[in-house]
Amino acid sequence: MTNLNEYLGGRIFNAKELTPDLKKTLLDQGATQTTAIYQIKGERYCRRCLMKLPQNSGKYNYCRHCINLGKINSSDTLFITGSDIVFPIQEKYLDWDGELTDNQQRGVHELLNAFNRHCDHLVWAVTGAGKTEMIFPLIEQALIKQQRIAICSPRVDVCIELFPRLQKVFPKTTIGLFHGKSLERYHLTQIAIMTVHQLIRFEKSFDVLIIDEVDSYPLAGNQMLHQAIKKSKKSIGMTVYLSATPPRELLQKVQKGQVTLSKLYQRFHGHPLPEPRCHLLFKEINFLGINPRLRLKLNRIVSSHQRLMIFFPSIPVMEKFAQKLKKYYPTLSFVSVSSLDKKRLEKVQQFRQHQVQVILTTTILERGVTFKRVMVLVLNADAKEFSKTSLIQIAGRAGRDKKYFDDEVHFYYRYYNRQIQQACREITYLNQQVKK
């Protein structure tokens, strides 16, 4: 027996994937049929991802942009399922007894204003400002209006971290977590948490679309994903962008009045952002095994059992360092993670649960993860992989807990470059804004 829930809600399917019976049922339920490739002014476009097909595609008569989601040939037909869903009315939606700070409350007020006016809105909040709590009242209002909400991030880890938090505060609402690595099949839920890539499969599905970490890879500068965001929102609805380091294009839209803005310079606990301490190394980090200056720092950390995140610009640099670390500190417990690591999520969990003292990571953990009481070290902070944005995000991993707001952040480098200078300046600037 087919579970219809796995198909409904503005989903896009290739007709080839559907049985005749299912097609008939979906059409009865409001689905529409359309050609997979359409033409405007002689140019051909893919209906699923809205990307242009090359003029002389020759034997490639399919869309190469969204091929990861299954091949779409020019002769194919797409089914777009109905998205007029009536969700059940509940007695109570939000079950949360936390308190918002005055700053957060101001942000919530601005968000709800934008919601009522169906206006797109950017929340520009420093790392640890409590963005997630700020979207609770917005989600609640949308639920009361029986609307559908998607919360998306370019990063899987961010989605995974968000899921249990929302389940906890909206216990009666159906919530789904969908991403490429998840075993959970798509099914219709009132709240959907997913990676931005998943949006390519939707059309006019969501009343409220919340995009977290809008400046982060792979969303930054990716035309297909930005179009997917536009396409998956209902014609009357709103998109909310959340970022600690918003991209220039978005700030330009704010200037033009196309997007409204909330700014939060203060962390939820009211303490300033930890300002990075900068250390010039005269030799490589692996000089004499581990650079003596760095080793001195590590000795102190290891003996004081301080929890530590160490960021590296690349996997090879990290792996080499991991070997050295093992050699010099044989009793130290640590894990290392990267984008290629299949056990990444488990390892992060181990660190979270204090099963290991240290986590070595590439920029994959620069954002979206929250640990209590953790010192942060960036090695080779002058490497090209660490942009200004990236360094600000990394520094933002520290001091997130009310009790341990002053966790240390250290940048180690051989050249004090522009990125390091700009990141440090921006953090200082943000802290000064609070004092004003």
Where along the sequence are the contacts to Zn ion (CB under 5 A)? 46, 48-49, 63, 65-66
Please report how close the Cβ of residue 69 comes to Zn ion at its closest, in angstroms: 8
Q: How far is the CB of 31 from Zn ion (least distance, A)?
A: 19
DSSP 45-75: EETTT-PBPPTT-TT--B-STTGGG---BTT
Q: How far is the CB of 314 from Zn ion (least distance, A)?
A: 32
Q: Which is nearer to Zn ion, 52 or 343 (CB)?
A: 52
Which residue, 50 or 123, has its beta carbon nearer to Zn ion?
50
Q: CB of residue 66 vs Zn ion: minimum separation in angstroms?
A: 3
For residues 139 and 210, give the distance between their C-alpha atoms in angstroms, rounded to a whole number: 10
Residue 228 or 335: the one with the smaller Cβ distance to Zn ion is 228
Kindly state the tokens that stand for 311. Answer: 């960021």
Closer CB to Zn ion, 63 or 188, in the complex:
63
Least distance to Zn ion, CB of residue 34, Å = 13
Complex with Zn ion: residue 69 or 119, whichever CB lies closer: 69
Residues in the chain: 436
SS (H, E, C) 310-336: EECCCHHHHHHHHHHHHHHCCCCCEEE
Cβ nearer to Zn ion, comparing 46 with 394: 46
Place of tokens 């409350």: 105
Q: Which residues pair with 308 in a beta bridge?
A: 358, 375
**Coil, strand or helix: which one is 187?**
coil
State how far the Cα of 274 lies from the Cα of 298, in Å rounded to an integer: 19
Element (H, E) at 226: helix 223-232
From the CB of 45, what's the least distance to Zn ion, in Å? 8
Element (H, E) at 89: none
CB neighbours of residue 292 within 10 Å: 12
